[in-house]
Structure 1
Amino acid sequence: MQTDKLAVAIVDDHPIVIEGLKMLLQNEENLQVIGGFCDGESILAYLRLNKADLILLDITLPDINGMDLCRMIKDEFRSTMILILSNHTERSIIMQTIQNGASGYLLKNSSIDELRNCITEAVNGNICFSKEVVEIISRPTKNQLQGRPQLTRREKQILALIAEGKTSQAIAGELFLSPLTIDTHRKNLIQKFEVKNVAELIRAAHQQYLL
């Protein structure tokens, strides 16, 4: 029955990709492609007037990046499922889209069977990745490969206080040290973790269970 079909929207900045996906999906009994959109604003405008059950979303769009658009759609239209269909292979992008509410991530060279499988998984409330994406996210990160930095007792103490949001001045007062000494420890910690700033330091320390 027509009403049982999933209403699918395709969002990609290349019209030829949209047309290709439409042709690929037109014979799927459980799907009905309701439209193709080349930018974020047009899909948002459509969704405010119409329902889509599933969106196949690219990351690269002319007006809004797909990661942000994914979050915006999920915030406003919670029941709409989103599968990312992209050429981007960066682990951080893949993980960010999932955090932003996507039900899965596929590369554009995925097979129709992989796409079918991911759609089924999404409908069942699961998160699904194409085979290549599984390989990307299962590789160890640089931090994991390098192992944990060796910290002195004092460095662990200062790291914990930094994570609490305390300033060098406040930490110095608490530990009866000079603010300059605390700043030196802070710089050493940033260097040991090979990060750029305190926010990254805290994130890396959490990832390595040092906080």
Structure 2
Amino acid sequence: MISILIIDDHPLVGDGISTMLNSESYLTILGICKTAKDAIEFLTTALPDIILLDINLPDMNGLALCELIRKNNNSTKIIGLTSTNEAGIIIQFLSKGANGYLLKNMERDELLLAIREVMNDKIFLSKAANQKLLEQYNTVNQAIKSVPILTRREKEVLNLLHEGLNGPQIAEKLFISHFTVETHRKNLMQKMNANTTQLLLKNAKIFNLI
């Protein structure tokens, strides 16, 4: 028996998937959580085999929740369930520890296939998501490896650059020297293959980092 937790704030989606899967004798729905808070509490007392996770939740970004779940639980399979088919978000989701990515308009057979594949320790992408990734990368693994790994301070500098602050303003905001800010900016540009701040921010948006 494969146990499943659905995390989605839209009742029609959660109930629809539950109804769709309940007809399969080898699947059982442990619950439906509508917020990240509810899901975190639920996971303190239950360990589902699979989590179907919406990327847009009212109280926390699904990417952040995926990363949080994965830090505390390395065995449960996580499948992103969303209407967003953007390469940057797909890559981010997989890099946070997800095992698959499905669009909400998927067919029942595709969902069942995804469940079987991730339970066999494979990465599963919907046909549309896979096509989107392969428009830019040769393989899924190459796409995942392309995600820049940023330090906490680099993330702070990047967000402030996105807000329109300049070097001296960022230095004052973070209580660091202007030289340190410029060092972080140069590191960010190198990691995201950019030679201007404008291109840096453009690439950061592609990777869903801002």
Task: State TM-score, norm by structure 2.
Answer: 0.67
Distance 1:97 1:200 in 2: 22
Distance 1:10 1:105 in 2: 14
Alignment of structure 1 residues 88-127 onto 2, 5 Å? 88-127=84-123
Equivalent residue, structure 2, for 1:31: 27
- How far has the Cα of 1:202 moved from its partner? 3.0
Q: 1:10 aligns with which of 6, 12, 27?
A: 6
Structure 1, unpaired ranges of 5+: 142-185, 187-195, 206-211
Distance 2:186 2:27 in 1: 47
- How far has the Cα of 1:7 moved from its partner? 1.0
Matched length = 148
- How far has the Cα of 1:200 moved from its partner? 3.5
The one-character-per-residue Cα deviations of 1:31-83 (angstroms, maximum 9, x if unpaired) are 10011010111111011111211100000001111111001001112111100
Q: What's the secondary structure of 1:56's corresponding residue? A: strand
> Is 1:84 equivalent to 2:67 in the alignment?
no
The one-character-per-residue Cα deviations of 1:116-158 (angstroms, maximum 9, x if unpaired) are 11111100101010110111101127xxxxxxxxxxxxxxxxx
> Is 1:204 equivalent to 2:204 in the alignment?
no
Equivalent residue, structure 2, for 1:171: none
Structure 2, unpaired ranges of 5+: 138-181, 195-210
Distance 2:34 2:86 in 1: 23
Structure with the bigger RCO (C-alpha within 8 Å, sep 6+) is: 2
Relative to structure 1, is the Cα distance of residues 197 and 113 closer, same or farther in structure 2, using a 3 angstrom cutoff?
Answer: farther
Distance 2:51 2:41 in 1: 14
* Aligned-partner residue type, residue 113 of structure 1: D
* Aligned-partner residue type, residue 128 of structure 1: F
The one-character-per-residue Cα deviations of 1:89-131 (angstroms, maximum 9, x if unpaired) are 1111100110111000011111111111111110010101011
Q: What's the secondary structure of 1:135's corresponding residue? A: helix
**RMSD between aligned residues:** 1.8
* Aligned-partner residue type, residue 72 of structure 1: L
Equivalent residue, structure 2, for 1:152: none
Distance 1:50 1:140 in 2: 38
Q: Percent identity?
A: 35
